Amino acid sequence: MSVTSLGPRLDFKIVADWGNANFHTIAGWILAHLRWQSAPQSEFWIKTGTGYGDNLEALTSKEVDLAITTPFDVAPEWAMAGSHFFQGKPAPFLRSLGYLPQNDRLVFAIREDTGITSFKDLREKKFPLRLATTTRTPDNLMTWIAERVLELHGIKIEEWGGEWLGHDYPRICIPQVIDGKANAVMNEAIVVPQWRELVAKIPMRFLAFEEDVLQTLENDYGLRRATLSAGTLRAPMDIPCIDFSNWAILVRDDMDEDLAYRITGIMVEQRAELEGRYKHLPSEIAPMTYPIDPYTMWKGVGAPLHPGAQRYYREHGYMA
């Protein structure tokens, strides 16, 4: 859309992250271009959030018009169905504009000097974990998943004399192992530099998620299994874990179709600008995996495409 054919006046709100990470970068990128395409006196706002339950709540309650969340598959799936983390709060009206790529994993690592080599070891020794992980708050979907993983492995934290050391920002959470406050870490965001600093300074062992646990997580919760590939974060072999990939861009089904079309167009046509924010790093360790592919970015999100987004992808040849 050219500056001579601006859209109508628009008031638009997005909920992103804490204010200093990737979701805010994405929100600012979308809103800048939406502002330039909208009539004068339009207003645009970014709300801080955790990226999880509060983001979806802000969207479903109509406080905001667009939310960003992760993982791109199960978070919207559960929210639409009102299941698991979103139990009793179905939101079947959620719709997707697509996703932005991030190759991520939820993993568990423990200091090698503990002598622990497996979850079986942890169970048998009732080892007191001082676990650096996410916060136990009602909004934190990753905590909910982490607790299911630990529960299914038969791991108890406080009962065995350990401690749950929670912080919802990975860049603050992970260094607790380096500082000696924690002896293990369970988190995602495997591309943040603090993970690489950790394994460079402290010999760590990534524990493979047990097969029966992976099957239960997949069959009962829809969580996708994944692998931390050998060599990543100095892992000596492939480590079975949980997929935590990609950022879903979500709206409601009451969004105007032309507006959904416009925002999807921004995500596709201005993608090089967003990619440029990350190209100082190789794609495999960049916070956002690039390039963004319009032929795939509409696939796999746990909510159906908004009709406006679908029209955009079809008209531009990205969907058959």
User: Mind spelling out the 3-state secondary structure of the chain?
Assistant: CCCCCCCCCCEEEEECCCCCCHHHHHHHHHHHHHHHCCCCCCEEEEECCCCCHHHHHHHHCCCCCEEEECCCCHHHHHHHHCCHHHCCCCCCCEEEEEEECCCCEEEEEEEHHHCCCCHHHHHHHCCCCEEEECCCCCCCHHHHHHHHHHHHCCCCCHHHCCEEEECCCHHHHCHHHHCCCCCEEEECCCCCHHHHHHHHHCCEEECCCCHHHHHHHHHHHCCCEEEECCCHHHCCCCEEEEECCCEEEEEECCCCHHHHHHHHHHHHHCHHHHHHCCCCCCHHHCCCCCCCCCCCCCCCCCCCECHHHHHHHHHCCCCC
CB neighbours (10 Å) of residue 85? 22
> Which two structure tokens, joined as six digits, stand for 166?
């929670």
pLDDT at residue 3, rounded to an integer: 44
In one-letter notation, the amino acid at residue 189 is A
CB neighbours (10 Å) of residue 103? 19
pLDDT at residue 292, rounded to an integer: 98
Residue with tokens 């204010």: 19
pLDDT per residue of the chain (320 residues) written in tens, 0 to 9: 544 468 899 999 999 999 999 999 999 999 999 999 999 999 999 999 999 999 999 999 999 999 999 999 999 999 999 999 999 999 999 999 999 999 999 999 999 999 999 999 999 999 999 999 999 999 999 999 999 999 999 999 999 999 999 999 999 999 999 999 999 999 999 999 999 999 999 999 999 999 999 999 999 999 999 999 999 999 999 999 999 999 999 999 999 999 999 999 999 999 999 999 999 999 999 999 999 999 999 999 999 999 999 999 999 999 98
d(CA 196, CA 216): 30
Residues in the chain: 320
8 A C-beta contact, residue 119 and residue 218: no
Q: Kindly list the strands in the beta sheet with 94-100, ordered across the sheet, starting from the edge strand earlier in the chain.
A: 43-47, 11-15, 66-69, 247-252, 94-100
Mean pLDDT score of the chain: 97
pTM score, whole prediction: 0.96
**Which domains, ranges and CATH numbers included, belong to the chain?**
11-103+245-315 (3.40.190.10), 105-243 (3.40.190.10)
Residue 173 has φ and ψ, to the nearest 5°, of -65, -55
In degrees, to the nearest 5, what angle opens at C-alpha 225 toward C-alphas 277 and 83? 90
8 A C-beta contact, residue 175 and residue 194: yes
pLDDT at residue 2, rounded to an integer: 45
pLDDT at residue 5, rounded to an integer: 66
